[in-house]
Copies of this chain bind each other. A is one copy, B any other.
Amino acid sequence: MSESGSAREAPRSKRGRATRAALLQAGRRVLERDGFVDAKIADISAEAGVAVGSFYTHFRDKDDLFAALVEETTAVMLHPGVAEVARDADPATMIADANRAYLESYRENAKLMALLEQVAAIDERFRKLREERSHAFHARNAAAIRRLQRSKMADRAVDPDIAAIALSAMVSRAAYGAFVLEVLDPDVDRLADTLTRMWVNSLSIKSHGT
């Protein structure tokens, strides 16, 4: 993975920007279709309708294109969070909203998400980048869980760090099962309801008023 964002400087001309955009779109199509390993630069260029050399005018290599692609869709890398939970009247509602939002954006970008899994599994640099981003969420979630535990609104026998990771995994894996593997009913409401229920249950979260 390149340090951050795209390696080549942004195109100065209108034509340059158009070509870059075409390559991104083509790259997404081809990568999603062939997988990261099997996607060829030549195929991406052809799909974009430009010469191979033009690929290199805009990107250093496949990694670089992929990084740009992910950056474009950064939002979907966000994990579901309970971060704000303790500050609100109803933790369960917050969790439900976060889960639903995550599931929806996952569904919108299911193929890219699958690609993400793939690249993270293969490429150490990208795996690290992803873990760093996840870490922030996990830390916030773990902190939120600790807060709930201190105010006796959550099961104190649960380790907050483990729980934070486990709950994220629960949601993202269910999304993967529903939208990528398609072994689960892709109904967002049903998914969100069950996952939220399990999330709340697993920590034995009590509502404020309870």
CB within 8 Å of B: which residues of A? Answer: 35-37, 117-118, 120-122, 131, 135, 138, 155, 157-159, 161-163, 165-174, 177, 181, 183-185, 190-191, 193-195, 197-199, 201-204
Q: Could you list 5 further interchain pairs (A-B, Cβ under 8 angstroms) beyond the known A162-B191, A165-B173?
A: A118-B121, A131-B181, A159-B190, A165-B174, A201-B202
* Interface SS of chain A: helix
Q: Is the CB of B37 within 8 A of A198?
A: no
A36-B37 Cα distance, complex, nearest whole Å: 11
Partner of A122, one of B37, B166, B168: B37
Select from chain B the residue with minimum beta-carbon distance to A181.
B131
A30-B7 Cα distance, complex, nearest whole Å: 24
Would you give the shortest CB distance from A44 to chain B, in whole angstroms?
A: 18
What residues on B are CB-neighbors of A168 within 8 Å?
Answer: 173
B37 touches A195 (CB 8 A): no
